[in-house]
A and B are shown apart, each in its own frame.
Chain A
């Protein structure tokens, strides 16, 4: 019964989304004669920009009325030792997903680090509340299936800003779904309704928001188009994560001959 209502809910969501796509329509493709506008349109790779901007505004509204106030209370009320404990616990829960993706990418050293971290932090770190592993030379790193696809050359696809989730272009949205299958919690609480995964999603969201209160304010105040800035930040940080923080100098644009009349 529960599963049926779950399927119904997903189906409703999909129908709603497709309707929204149809109604909001796509960004108008610029005139063929306007080469600068065509280049800009293609560089943005954001064919449903009006709809994305609508969801972006919706998320900003939810942020102002719910998320930000909760994050401020969380940030102000809890001592930092408690916040760190929560962050460590959530990070540790994610270890199986990180490990699965380390292995799929053939990153054996990083897979070893993830395994050691999980072992150390679950035992010496008391169920993952502490993070002694970092002090012992096992630094945390993240991985997800979107990155694994990226490593194998799957491109990100057109930009999509999902309500609640935030930036989720096709590759990363698919990765998000696959990661749920790698997550033991999905199976442990399969028949238990949504309490555990939803709680985790919400606490994770509040904690991340609390940790970025200043950063996001700063980006908003120093961007002439907040939506486009977030789109660029998301894409750039994904590229950086896929390359595990190592800059690929050959992938950077050529800037040696830039002037006002060039096609840069």
Chain B
């Protein structure tokens, strides 16, 4: 393989085509990839993910403190309102002003807990940014691809970040872990609950409230035995 390559390069050097083709192919092959990448967005994700992993993995903090620190980081960098409205589909037009306010408070609490719970599986691992590409025609959205790598030889977990540019900087709209966009999963459940309760928005609020309790227990059990391997069942 290498010998053939050497023969080929010697041949090309003699014909003087080599340099030209090399320069040309370097331009045509690599420029589009560089042009499409968004370094600001990649740096944003890198910093956010490292902070999240660091906070959730801090063993000198009590689980409740870790969750509180994660909440500050999360609400500062996620577009929670947009996620909340997206998760309602066309039912977004149905709640009253009080229901909207109650919903946004509950949904923030709920989403923080869901993310904290799922991300705490990945503390103490290696996080690597792979690529980024623009989404949408307005040049306001970016998808950043990354992966979490494990020293144990386990397959890396692909993670994608859907970012929105706004006046106050970049915000995360959604995260895709192992092929699943979290906001789309929430939307499926939220819409289903409202529809199966004949359009009663209050039923959704009740369900979220109840589930926040369950999710709290889940996070506590995870953060408490975060040091132990997670191969065994914890119930």
Q: Which residues from A are CB-within-8-Å of B207?
A: 224-225
Q: In the complex, what distance in Å separates the CA atom of A249 from the CA atom of B114?
A: 24
A217 touches B233 (CB 8 A): yes
B89 touches A43 (CB 8 A): yes
> What's the least CB distance linking B131 to chain A, in Å?
10
Contacts known (A247-B143, A252-B135, A255-B173); A222 close to B179, Cβ less than 8 A: no
> What's the least CB distance linking B103 to chain A, in Å?
10
User: Number of A-B pairs whose CB atoms are under 8 Å?
Assistant: 159
Contact with A along B128-152 (1 / 0, CB 8 A): 0000011110101101010000000
A236 touches B181 (CB 8 A): yes
> What's the least CB distance linking B232 to chain A, in Å?
7
Q: Which residues from B are CB-within-8-Å of A214?
A: 121, 230-231, 233-234
Q: Which residues from B are CB-within-8-Å of A237?
A: 178-180
Which candidate, A17-25, A34-42, A115-123, is the interface stretch facing chain B? A34-42
> What's the least CB distance linking A196 to chain B, in Å?
28
Contact with B along A226-258 (1 / 0, CB 8 A): 011101110011011100010101001111101
> What's the least CB distance linking B60 to chain A, in Å?
25
Q: In the complex, what distance in Å separates the CA atom of A223 from the CA atom of B82?
A: 19
B-facing residues in A16-57 (Cβ within 8 Å)? 30, 34-37, 39-41, 43-44
| B85 at interface, CB cutoff 8 A | yes
> What's the least CB distance linking A82 to chain B, in Å?
14
| A213 at interface, CB cutoff 8 A | yes
B189 touches A228 (CB 8 A): yes
List the B residue with the shortest CB-CB distance to A241.
B179
Binding site for B on A (CB under 8 A): 30, 34-37, 39-41, 43-44, 72, 75-76, 80, 139, 213-214, 217-218, 221-225, 227-229, 231-233, 236-237, 239-241, 245, 247, 249, 252-256, 258-264
Given known contacts A34-B199, A221-B117, A262-B85, what 9 new A-B pairs fall within 8 Å (CB)? A36-B91, A224-B193, A233-B180, A240-B179, A247-B145, A252-B135, A255-B86, A256-B136, A263-B90
Binding site for A on B (CB under 8 A): 82, 85-86, 88-95, 100, 110, 113-114, 117-118, 121, 133-136, 138, 140-141, 143, 145, 155, 158, 160, 162, 164, 173, 176, 178-181, 184-185, 187-196, 199, 204, 207-208, 210-211, 214-215, 217-218, 230-235
